[in-house]
Amino acid sequence: MAETKNMILNMGPQHPSTHGVLRLILELDGETVVKLTPDIGYLHRGVEKLGENLTYHQFIPLTDREDYLASLSNNLAYCMTVEKLLDIEVPPRAMVARVLLTELQRIASHLIWLGTFGLDIGAMSLFFYCMRERELLLDIFEACAGSRLTINYFRIGGIAKDLPEGFEKQVRDFIAVFPERMKNDYERIFQDNKIVRIRTEGVGIISKKDAVDLGLSGPLLRACGVPWDIRKSNPYCGYETYDFDIATGKVGDVFDRYMVRMEEMRQSLKIVRQALDRLPGGAFLADDPKVCLPAKQKVMTEMEALIHHFKIVSEGFEPPAGEVYHSIETPRGELGFYIVSDGSNKPYRLRFRPPSFVNLESLAKMAEGKLIGDLIAIIGALDPVMGEVDR
């Protein structure tokens, strides 16, 4: 009998469902994936190196372009890390606004995930319904910051400008429509579908131990039944004062990941509601003239403010020497920034721990021995953002 050889299939970097420019080298026996080797780096822009040549303020827009589906979360992680280095207090209004907006961002990010996951397993319509709701969220972001995808709204010491007029109404409108649409348009069409169930249940299981060993975080880890959420374990921005639950799964399959993310959207909405109710007035930027830009009105009228403005814009500020790490829970898991400062106006070294990069490592473990169709569902449920993986 003739010798049989496995087929090598190069999936990506241009492939409709590798979520960007992920390249997978698959060794296939028929349709079964025997070996899977991810190849990354197609979106490498050297952001960490760029960070060493930019002042602390100038780096914020670059964080938008990492996890571009959750740019506010990235803004937040970076700003909080620098704030930790500087040891400055953020005013309460900014704190609540940050929580509110990042939770909305989490919903927006999960909506994209849900839509593309639907596309991956062939349910086309769901994508458009998800986009409809995401549009409402993007409108809110646009009203706040002027941009929709790379929002760049948080600043070191607070937020860029005060929340816009009509913000509360916009958010309340969203809160009013979202739960019902989630139930009718997502769950009844998608989750209750028999084919969706057989495509997701028992697929891509990863054990609790493996998940922890690989360093997974976010919904992926929680779907395995590990109730680990930085918002609870190391609360920041006052998350300890909000009432919400950590969604966890049991088996750790694709369906559990779906359920965890759906529950997270509901919990995020709960947090948004609480944040909106308690949103205090007052300053939105810390009162630290060496770090935070003064208000435009002051720049026009006060000599001192003009000088501070000039200094911050032209050469930035100089934090104390030292190193600092801070992490937050983004929609994808633990995003941590590590900054080494030598006392100059630019970081000596800036490094971050992107959740997608670490999560991607579990792909081979989940997909080997499965069919191509399963692999697609697994990538979909992994929700990698290549901007973040390649940096």
Work out whether 196 is an interface residue with other proteins (CB under 8 A): yes
The C-alpha atoms of residue 295 and residue 279 are separated, in whole angstroms, by 21
| Residue (163 or 196) nearer to other proteins, CB | 196
**Which residue in 38, 51, 115, 118 binds other proteins (CB under 8 A)?**
118
Site for other proteins in 203-262 (CB under 8 A): none
And the tokens for 196? 């969706």
Q: How many CB atoms lie within 10 A of CB 81?
A: 24
Work out whether 111 is an interface residue with other proteins (CB under 8 A): no
**Which residue in 22, 376, 378, 385 binds other proteins (CB under 8 A)?**
376
| Residue (120 or 329) nearer to other proteins, CB | 120
- State how far the alpha carbon of 363 is from the alpha carbons of 41, 214, 369, in Å: 16, 11, 12
Q: Which stretch binds other proteins (CB under 8 A): 52-60, 211-219, 285-293, 368-376?
A: 368-376
Q: How is residue 124 annotated by DSSP?
A: H
Q: Which amino acid is at 302?
A: E
Task: Show the site string, 23-62: x = touches other proteins by CB under 8 A, - = not.
Answer: --------x-------------------------------
Q: C-beta of 309: minimal distance to other proteins in Å? A: 46
**Which residue in 2, 124, 176, 303 binds other proteins (CB under 8 A)?**
124
Q: Which stretch binds other proteins (CB under 8 A): 148-156, 236-244, 260-268, 366-374?
A: 366-374
- CB within 8 Å of 244: residues ≥ 6 apart: 231, 267, 268, 270, 271
Closest CA to 220 of 264, 165, 181, 187: 264
Q: C-beta of 258: minimal distance to other proteins in Å? A: 12
Q: C-beta of 121: minimal distance to other proteins in Å? A: 5
Work out whether 265 is an interface residue with other proteins (CB under 8 A): no
Q: How is residue 250 annotated by DSSP?
A: S
Check: CB of residue 63 under 8 Å from CB of residue 51. Answer: no
- State how far the alpha carbon of 39 is from the alpha carbons of 43, 166, 389, in Å: 11, 46, 11
Work out whether 349 is an interface residue with other proteins (CB under 8 A): no
| Residue (119 or 312) nearer to other proteins, CB | 119
| Residue (129 or 174) nearer to other proteins, CB | 129
**Which residue in 25, 189, 212, 364 binds other proteins (CB under 8 A)?**
189
- CB within 8 Å of 368: residues ≥ 6 apart: 33, 34, 35, 36
**Which residue in 13, 39, 43, 132 binds other proteins (CB under 8 A)?**
132
* DSSP 3-state of 23: strand
Work out whether 129 is an interface residue with other proteins (CB under 8 A): yes
| Residue (127 or 357) nearer to other proteins, CB | 127
The C-alpha atoms of residue 316 and residue 184 are separated, in whole angstroms, by 50
| Residue (122 or 166) nearer to other proteins, CB | 122
Supply φ then ψ for residue 6, to 5 degrees. Answer: -75, 150
Q: C-beta of 329: minimal distance to other proteins in Å? A: 29
Element (H, E) at 309: helix 303-315
Work out whether 123 is an interface residue with other proteins (CB under 8 A): yes
Q: How is residue 183 annotated by DSSP?
A: I
The C-alpha atoms of residue 191 and residue 255 are separated, in whole angstroms, by 9
Q: What is the CA radius of gyration of the chain?
A: 22
Work out whether 369 is an interface residue with other proteins (CB under 8 A): no
The C-alpha atoms of residue 223 and residue 359 are separated, in whole angstroms, by 13
Work out whether 202 is an interface residue with other proteins (CB under 8 A): no
Work out whether 122 is an interface residue with other proteins (CB under 8 A): yes
Question: Do the bridges between strand 333-341 and strand 154-155 make them parallel or antiparallel, or are there none, so unpaired?
Answer: unpaired
| Residue (53 or 125) nearer to other proteins, CB | 125
Residues that bind other proteins (CB under 8 A): 7, 9-10, 15-17, 31, 118-125, 127-129, 132, 189-190, 193, 195-196, 198-199, 371-374, 376
